[in-house]
Amino acid sequence: MDNITQWVIGWWIMEKVVGQEPHQASWWQRNKALILGGLITNIPDLDIFVNNYLPHTDYMSEFLFHRGIMHSLFFNIPIALLVGRLCGKSDRYKRPWWRWALASYISIVVWHIFVDAMTSYGTRFLLPFTDATFSRDNIFVVDMFYTIPLIIIWFVYLFLRKKSWRKMRYRIGAVWILIYPLFTMITKQVVNNVFANSLHEQQVESTKIKTSPEPLQAFLRRGVAKVGHWYYEGYYSLFDREKTIERTYIPNNTLIRKELIDKPDIQQVEKRAQWRTSYGAAGSGNVLINVVKMWGILGWKRSSAGHNASWAFLANGSGEVLGQWGRGRFLEWTFDEVWRAHRERVWGK
């Protein structure tokens, strides 16, 4: 999830540790809670920097480190205990260290790891016991409708003098933190039903339908239905009047997959994609492993060289992944054209 949102959420949680109601805390206490809460909540994302100093032997081990062990529920238990000890020793009010540890663990696990698991990117929070990827696909990695209201409330809150006003805005922010993820879960189920009914009307039977939000919002969702070895793709906005979804065929060259050596690299990509992948030729004997479950960035005008998703991995014929390829690089449109079409599509046809 957006690190700015996590920063604000961590601030609210840590402010509980100051020993007062958040709206009664002093200006200095609120800023101290802001700094501590933001830093502690985002500890798991330090794996991005740690990753640069690890001796990786191949691309996949480097790629899988992010949202890997440092996002594990179990790895963060000693981290929270350590943070609790350090904060407890430096606490001028001599509050018990375990309160700091508990607040740290709640900040890290509930409002970082679990919310990360709501995104399409997902996370593997049960490492080292299983490397399964968990992703609910109900919130985009950066959702401006979740982040911007919290930033506004936080900014206003810091400079409010009347405790009654601070209390009101604190409660508004706390409610928004809970309400918006719930809203995205409901919209996901609504869109799932629309996709299922639309496919049924078009006499396409599929029990494997996956929907995910397009960038920066939760109103427009992309649906992918697996039919045999290939896929149908479609987009639906909550503002659409028509319930029949125009679908696009996504090919999947199963022959390429059969000829590809089944190395751990390929298996890891398929696990990360939750087995929603399509294969295409990339030239020079290389293969594109398209992650079909990820966002499409309105890929209505993709190039035809086997690019069936906005995010993919490039592998050689020996089954070794060489690197990432995607996040819009397959599109023939410029970024401005994609962004304009995206805005228009979100609010309906």
Residues 9, 130 share a domain: yes
| pLDDT at residue 66 greater than cutoff 60 | yes
Please state, as a whole number, how many other Cβ atoms lie within 10 Å of the Cβ of residue 179. Answer: 10
At 242-252, the pLDDT tens digits run 888 888 888 88
Pair 237, 316 in one domain: no
- Pairwise pLDDT comparison (77 vs 42), residue with the higher score: 77
Tokens 């799932």 sit at which residue? 192
Q: Which segment of 168-172, 183-187, 200-204 scores lowest on mean pLDDT?
A: 168-172
At residue 209 the predicted structure's pLDDT band, cuts being 50, 70 and 90, is: confident
| pLDDT, tens only, 213-233 | 988 888 989 888 888 888 888
Same domain, 226 and 311: no
Range of the structural domain that residue 60 is part of:
3-136
φ, ψ of residue 135 to 5 degrees: the values are -150, 125
28 in a structural domain = yes
Does one domain contain both 33 and 118?
yes
Q: Dihedrals φ, ψ of 138, to 5°?
A: -105, -15
Q: How confident is the model at residue 78 (pLDDT cuts 50, 70, 90)?
A: very high
**148 inside domain:** no
Say how many domains are in the chain. Answer: 3
Strand partners, 313: 289, 324
Q: 3-state SS of the chain: helix, strand, coil percent to 5?
A: 50, 15, 35
Same domain, 24 and 125: yes
**289 assigned to some structural domain:** yes
In a domain, 213, yes or no: yes
Q: Residue 103 is which amino acid?
A: A
Strand order in the sheet with 311-315: 277-283, 286-291, 311-315, 321-326
Sheet with strand 230-237: strands edge to edge: 208-213, 220-227, 230-237, 247-250
pLDDT on residue 11: 61
Mind listing the pLDDT tens digit for each residue in 288-332? 888 888 776 655 445 444 455 667 888 888 888 888 765 444 445
User: pLDDT by residue (tens digit) across 119-134?
Assistant: 888 899 999 999 888 9
Contacts of 91-97 spanning 24+ positions with Cβ under 8 A: 93/18, 93/19, 95/17, 95/19
Distance in angstroms (rounded) separating the CA atoms of residues 258 and 60 = 21
Split at pLDDT 50, 70, 90, the class of 277 is confident
